[in-house]
Each structure stands twice: as structure tokens, then as C-alpha cells.
């Protein structure tokens, strides 16, 4: 593919007018420079600005690092005691966001996974981290090479979508958007989807999604494809060049979040932390306020927007797994599907479930890591 | 980090224990003052310390130093309780116990807060040792503080015991 042809396809992707075959073609040819260019266009910012807003706040980074240091000490304590000599034991590398590293107050997904005796977890996860950051920082690459893990778990995209009010740019407040119908790729995702869903909520949500959302969704897939292609084929597209034979990758796609600014006071003293988290840690500012700002003020419409976004995000991730099953020749990319598992009242704040619900997602990860087959193939549905 | 905090905790316990022994020369330790149910007992304890010479001052001066050091102790033991609870939260698989350990973070904070209030009351009493009617009785605050601290330690111990038994 010539540079001009590639630019033409990127232009079509950004306009949400790219054909499926062209998107697949572009996926194979994409490099870091192209990804950087795409995100600048989607966010209407230059490269430096994008990286600046994607970077973690220094305080946040330190608190996250503290939790990772505790986890990684446990990792080395296990490894030093002959952990790897037993093949039933699993070395796990984790890269991700606040679902994987929520400091101090909540027990997140990885906290629950780390409690398993046969799992040694090395974590690079940081709450608030963007997928873009994970990809450009490339910390996971170094760790993959040195520790050759049995499992690589990655969670990213949530902050790219909701950080810095970005979600406001992903919606069309008139509720008359037909961008889904313009996206042959997204329609194909829905055609092959095997997941039950509420068509009324989904279709209502779709009417608010702008072309930038679909461009971002394709951008997410390009990023994941780029990461996984590096892992399974050394970036060549040929599995013979993969450096980590037999490695299992597990992704996740969040649950339908609840736009809200309510502080969540209640009578249960064990949930004392909810009003504190909601008051001081960004609740309302990720979803509710940006949607209000764009004029989508109806609560049902707000929830439906998020329903459609998260539904499509998960389907996009599931497709990546299926693509790499074909490329690597074995079941290599699994997806933990939390959609609908948390429920309306299972949230600490707009984005983060209560610890017990993180535990249920963690249980699906544990099942997948231990190789217990899922009735849904590469997808592990979190129990509701 | 936990080890460092624990080491500081032990050093302060040792110093405060020594101060406590000195105060007991007058028949009462600082705990006796904190848990004196009625004002008369509390005032009596203060006057005993005030009337007991120690070095170039009295035992009341030791009690004052003890309360000053207690502010630092509060920071240390609250941090320690929180660090232990947080660390145990990452090991505790049972949801209800995990939630209790999370509740421990609040308990530790409230314990420290009550301890600060209690210290302020006691320091007020030190300043008014000769004015009986100015006495502020810290009994209720101290009782609540010890209750919360005991609950907090109990949750931790229970979780440790459970971990130990499941490990075996």
C-alpha cells in the first residue's frame, strides 16, 4: 500500500465512510505514526497536546505506583519460591486502567485475581491511563520480553473515551444521527454479534452517536490489533515470527456505566466510601456533565448513549479475538464480557463497580486464566 | 512501608510506656485519667500528678509531654491500622470481611479523630488543673475511641486468623 493510499483510507476512517475490506487492509498496514495521526484528527489536537491530556496526573501516578509496588513485591515473593517450576501456576502481566488499579479504597479486578494461589501477577496498570499511553509507553513490551508470561491481561479505552470531557465530542445531541448506518464495519459487528441486547435502548443510543465515535471505535481496534499483532507475529502478520508461543491474552470491555452526579448517601456503614469517592474523585464529570454540556439531558437518553457505546466497544473487542484466532492459529485472545453484570445499583461511581462486582468480573478472569472452557468460545460472560 | 511505620510505632509505645510508669508513681496512669468515669476522679488524678514532684517539675509535666507525644502517636497508629487493613484487603477473598477491612479505614480515621478530641480535652484540663469547675470529662470520647480501636483490631485479627487457617 502506498503512503497516499493509506492516507486516503485514514481519511475515510475519520469520516466513518470506510468499507470493511478497506478497514481490514488498513488494519494490517497501520503503524504508530498513523495511530498518532488518527488520534490527533479525532481529538482535534496536536500530538503533544494529545499526549499531555492522556498523561496521568503526578499524584495519581504515585498512588497507582504504590499499589503496583505492593502487587509486584508479592509477585517476586512468589517467583523467588520456585513458583514457575509448577506448570499449573500462571505468570500474569497486567496493563490497564482503573478497573485494574483502583488505589486504596476499592478492591479492583486485579486485586481479586492476585489472591489466587496459582497466579503471580505483575502489574503495570494505572487508574486513569489511556490506551494511547499504554501503547506509546510500551512498558508492557519490556516486561513481556523479560518475564515471558503465560497470560497478558489488558484493559484500555475507557479513559480515552471519557477523559477530559471527550465523550462530549462523540455525541450528536439532536438524536438523529445515522452514523451507525454509514459504518459498514459497525453494522457487520452487530450482524455477527451473538450477544443478547435491548434493541430499544441500543437503537435509541445509536441516534446520538457521532461519526467521531465510530472513528474512535475503529481507532481502538487498530490500537489493539497493533498491540496483539506485535505479540503474536512480531508485527509481521506471520505467527512464525511471534516471540511468545502459547501466550494467552485477555481483554475486557467494562459494563454499561451510569451517568450520575448523585452522591450516593445511604444507611449501610460498609459503603461509607461511596459519597467520598463520588464527591472528590471525578464522579459526574466523566459522563453526566459532558452529556449535559452537549444538551443530552434526559437521563434515559444518557444511559442509552452509554449502552450503545459499551455494547459496540465489547463487540469490537470480541472481533479482535476472533481475528487473532485466525492469525495465530489457536485460541489466543479471550474477552471478559461484563455487560449487564453490575446492574443499576452495583456502582461505586459513574465508572467503577462496587468491590463485590469487581470480584465477579475477576472470577471470570480466573476461570479464563485457568483454562476452564467457556460455553461462549473466546468470550467469558460475567455472571449477573 | 508497613515495617517502618511499625518500628516507629514500637519506639513510641516504649517511650509512652516509660512515661506511663513514671505517672503511676502517683497511683494513676494516663489511661486512668482517660477512663475516669466521673469528674471527681479525673480532677483527683490531675491534682495527684500536680502535687508529685519529678525532677525540677511535677508528674503533670510528664503527663503534658505524654499527650504531646500522643499526637504523633495518633498519626503513626492510624497510618499503621490503615496500611494493615489495606494490605489485608488485597488478600481477603471473603467479600463481607473484605468490606469490613475497608470499613477499618474509616474506623482507624475516626479512632484517631476521637483521640485528638480527647487530647484537646485533657490539655484543657491540664491548663485548668486548679479550677475544678473547668474540668472537661473525656470519658465518653475515650470510651468511643477504645471501642472503635478494639473493633478495628478485632477485624484485622479475624482476617489474619482466617488467612492463616486457609493457608494451612
Tens of each residue's pLDDT in chain A, 384 residues: 899 999 999 999 999 999 999 999 999 999 988 998 898 888 887 777 777 766 667 778 888 999 999 999 999 999 999 999 999 999 999 999 999 999 889 999 999 999 999 999 999 999 888 898 898 888 999 999 999 999 999 999 998 888 888 899 999 999 999 999 999 999 999 999 999 999 999 999 999 999 999 999 999 999 999 999 999 999 999 999 999 999 999 999 999 999 999 999 999 999 999 999 999 998 999 999 999 999 999 999 999 999 999 999 999 999 999 999 999 999 999 999 999 999 989 999 999 999 999 999 999 999 999 999 999 999 999 998
Distance between CA atoms of A167 and A292, rounded to whole angstroms? 11
What residues of chain A, 77 to 136, have a C-beta less than 8 Å from chain B? 104-107, 111-112, 114-115
Determine the residue among A63, A121, A270 to mutate to test chain B binding: the one whose Cβ has the most chain B Cβ atoms within 10 Å.
A270
Write out the residue range of the structural domain in which residue B80 sits. Answer: 2-167
Taking CA atoms, what residue in A is nearest to B166? A117
What pLDDT sits at residue B132? 79
| Binary contact (B86, A112; C-beta < 8 A) | no
| Binary contact (B106, A272; C-beta < 8 A) | yes
Which residues on chain A are in Cβ contact (under 8 Å) with B105?
104-105, 273
Residue whose C-alpha is closest to residue A151's, from A377, A384, A382, A365: A365
- Smallest Cβ–Cβ distance between B103 and the set A104, A270, A359 belongs to A270
C-alpha angle with apex B159: B147 to A121, nearest 5 degrees? 135
Query: Closest approach of chain B CAs to the CA of A71, in angstroms?
Result: 9
What pLDDT sits at residue B167? 66
Distance between CA atoms of A348 and B4, rounded to whole angstroms? 32
What pLDDT sits at residue A1? 83
What pLDDT sits at residue B168? 62
| Binary contact (B91, A115; C-beta < 8 A) | yes
A317 contacts: CB under 8 Å, gap ≥ 6? A224, A251, A252, A253, A335
Which residues on chain A are in Cβ contact (under 8 Å) with B89?
107, 111
- Total domains in chain B come to 1
CB B18 within 8 A of CB B96: no
For A334, the grid coordinates are 479471550
Q: From its phi and psi, is residue A340 left (phi > 0), alpha (psi between -120 and 50) or beta? A: left
Taking CA atoms, what residue in A is nearest to B102? A105
Q: Indicate the domain borders of chain A.
A: 3-381
What pLDDT sits at residue B25? 93
| Binary contact (B100, A355; C-beta < 8 A) | no
Distance between CA atoms of A382 and A319, rounded to whole angstroms? 18
Distance between CA atoms of A51 and A189, rounded to whole angstroms? 30
- Smallest Cβ–Cβ distance between A105 and the set B90, B92, B102 belongs to B102
What pLDDT sits at residue A48? 73
Per-residue pLDDT of chain B (168 residues; tens, 9 = 90+): 889 999 999 999 999 999 999 999 999 999 999 999 998 999 999 999 999 999 999 999 999 999 999 999 999 999 999 999 999 999 999 999 999 999 999 999 999 999 999 999 999 999 998 887 899 999 999 999 999 999 999 999 999 999 888 866
| Binary contact (B90, A111; C-beta < 8 A) | yes
What pLDDT sits at residue B165? 87
For A153, the grid coordinates are 491481561
What pLDDT sits at residue A56? 63
Query: Closest approach of chain B CAs to the CA of A106, in angstroms?
Result: 8
| Binary contact (B87, A70; C-beta < 8 A) | yes
Q: Residue A347: what are its φ and ψ, rounded to 5°?
A: -110, 145
Beginning with the edge strand found earlier in the chain, give each strand of the sheet holding A379-381 in spatial order. A119-123, A90-95, A151-154, A248-252, A333-337, A379-381
Architecture of domain A3-381: 3-Layer(aba) Sandwich (3.40)
Q: How many Cβ atoms from other residues are within 10 Å of residue B167's Cβ?
A: 8
Which residues on chain A are in Cβ contact (under 8 Å) with B90?
70-71, 74, 107, 111, 114-115
What pLDDT sits at residue A258? 92
Q: Please state the separation of Cα A212 from the chain's center in Å.
A: 18
What pLDDT sits at residue B74? 98
Taking CA atoms, what residue in B is nearest to A103? B86
Handedness of CA A269, A348, A111, A322 (dihedral sign): positive
Query: Closest approach of chain A CAs to the CA of B1, in angstroms?
Result: 10
CB A99 within 8 A of CB A357: no
Residues on B contacting A at a C-beta cutoff of 8 Å: 86-87, 89-93, 95, 98-100, 102-103, 105-106
Taking CA atoms, what residue in B is nearest to A115? B91
Tally A–B CB contacts below 8 A. 39
- Smallest Cβ–Cβ distance between A115 and the set B93, B102, B106 belongs to B93
Distance between CA atoms of A121 and A99, rounded to whole angstroms? 15
Amino acid at each position: 500500500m502506498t503512503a497516499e493510499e493509506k492516507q486516503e483510507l485514514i481519511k475515510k476512517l475519520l469520516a466513518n465512510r470506510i468499507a470493511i475490506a478497506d478497514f481490514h487492509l488498513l488494519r494490517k498496514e497501520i503503524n504508530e505514526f498513523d495511530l498518532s495521526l488518527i488520534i490527533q484528527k479525532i481529538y482535534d489536537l496536536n500530538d503533544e497536546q494529545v499526549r499531555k491530556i492522556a498523561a496521568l496526573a503526578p499524584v495519581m501516578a504515585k498512588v497507582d505506583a504504590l499499589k503496583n509496588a505492593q502487587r509486584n513485591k508479592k509477585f517476586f515473593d512468589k517467583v523467588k519460591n520456585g513458583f514457575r517450576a509448577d506448570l499449573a501456576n500462571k505468570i500474569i502481566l497486567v496493563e490497564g486502567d482503573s478497573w485494574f488499579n483502583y488505589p486504596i479504597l476499592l478492591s479492583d479486578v486485579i486485586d481479586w485475581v492476585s489472591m489466587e494461589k496459582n497466579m503471580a501477577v505483575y502489574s503495570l496498570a494505572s487508574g486513569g491511563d489511556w490506551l494511547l499511553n499504554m501503547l506509546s509507553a510500551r512498558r508492557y513490551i519490556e516486561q513481556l520480553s523479560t518475564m515471558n508470561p503465560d497470560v497478558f491481561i489488558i484493559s484500555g479505552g475507557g479513559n480515552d473515551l471519557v477523559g477530559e470531557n471527550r465523550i462530549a465530542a462523540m455525541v450528536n445531541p439532536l438524536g438523529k444521527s445515522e452514523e451507525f448506518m454509514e459504518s459498514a464495519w459497525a453494522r457487520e459487528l452487530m450482524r455477527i454479534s451473538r450477544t443478547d441486547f435491548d434493541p430499544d435502548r441500543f437503537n435509541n443510543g445509536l441516534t446520538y452517536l457521532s461519526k467521531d465515535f465510530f472513528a474512535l471505535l475503529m481507532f481502538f481496534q487498530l490500537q489493539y490489533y497493533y498491540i496483539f499483532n506485535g505479540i503474536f507475529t512480531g508485527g509481521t502478520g506471520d505467527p512464525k515470527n511471534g516471540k511468545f508461543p502459547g501466550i494467552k491474552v485477555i481483554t475486557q470491555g467494562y459494563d454499561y456505566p451510569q451517568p450520575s452526579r448523585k452522591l450516593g448517601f445511604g444507611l449501610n456503614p460498609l459503603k461509607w466510601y461511596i459519597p467520598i469517592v463520588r464527591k472528590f474523585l471525578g464522579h459526574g464529570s466523566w459522563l453526566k456533565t459532558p452529556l449535559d454540556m452537549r444538551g443530552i439531558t434526559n437521563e434515559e437518553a444518557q444511559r442509552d448513549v452509554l449502552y450503545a457505546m459499551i455494547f459496540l466497544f465489547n463487540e469490537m473487542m470480541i472481533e479482535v479475538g476472533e481475528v487473532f484466532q485466525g492469525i495465530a492459529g489457536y485460541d489466543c485472545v479471550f474477552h471478559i464480557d461484563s455487560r449487564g453484570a453490575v446492574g443499576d445499583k452495583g456502582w461505586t461511581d459513574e465508572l467503577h463497580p462496587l468491590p463485590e462486582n469487581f470480584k465477579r468480573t475477576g472470577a471470570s478472569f480466573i476461570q479464563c486464566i485457568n483454562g476452564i472452557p467457556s460455553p461462549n468460545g473466546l468470550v467469558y460472560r460475567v455472571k449477573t | 512501608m508497613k515495617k517502618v511505620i511499625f518500628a516507629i510505632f514500637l519506639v513510641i509505645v516504649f517511650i509512652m510506656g516509660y512515661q506511663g510508669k513514671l505517672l503511676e508513681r502517683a497511683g494513676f496512669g494516663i489511661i486512668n485519667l482517660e477512663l475516669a468515669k466521673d469528674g471527681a476522679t479525673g480532677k483527683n488524678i490531675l491534682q495527684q500528678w500536680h502535687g508529685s514532684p519529678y525532677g525540677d517539675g511535677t508528674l503533670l509535666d510528664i503527663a503534658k509531654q505524654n499527650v504531646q507525644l500522643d499526637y504523633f502517636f495518633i498519626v503513626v497508629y492510624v497510618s499503621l491500622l490503615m496500611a494493615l487493613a489495606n494490605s489485608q484487603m488485597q488478600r481477603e477473598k471473603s467479600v463481607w470481611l473484605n468490606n469490613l477491612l475497608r470499613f477499618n479505614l474509616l474506623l482507624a480515621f475516626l479512632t484517631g479523630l476521637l483521640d485528638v478530641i480527647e487530647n484537646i480535652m485533657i490539655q484543657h484540663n491540664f491548663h485548668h488543673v486548679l479550677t475544678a469547675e473547668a474540668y472537661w470529662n473525656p470519658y465518653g470520647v475515650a470510651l468511643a475511641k477504645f471501642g472503635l480501636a478494639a473493633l478495628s483490631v478485632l477485624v484485622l485479627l479475624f482476617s489474619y486468623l482466617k488467612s492463616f487457617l486457609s493457608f494451612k
